[in-house]
Amino acid sequence: MPYVNIKITREGVTPAQKAELIKGATDLLVKVLNKNPATTVVVINEVEMEDWGIGGLPVEEYRKTLTSS
């Protein structure tokens, strides 16, 4: 019955990669806690770049500071 939520920036994640994330997260709960896959929910949220902040900046601006430093 676990609920797993994965938030990532929207940067071209493919359906195949999402399926891999779903399978991997579910397998992890089975392996570590012996949870039932049939009631393990995984929800992926893709977040627009302008909506994700780190270091006090929108992530794209933050990354520029890293590459320019």
Catalytic residues: 2
1 in contact with its own copies (CB under 8 A): yes
First to last CA, the chain: 45
Written as six digits, the tokens of 43 are: 């929800």
7 in contact with its own copies (CB under 8 A): yes
57 in contact with its own copies (CB under 8 A): yes
Q: Are 41 and 4 in contact (CB under 8 A)?
A: yes
Query: Please, what is the minimum distance in Å from the beta carbon of residue 64 to its own copies?
Result: 13
Cα(47)–Cα(43) distance, integer angstroms: 13
The footprint of its own copies (CB under 8 A) covers 1-9, 13, 15, 17-29, 31-33, 35, 37-47, 50-59, 61
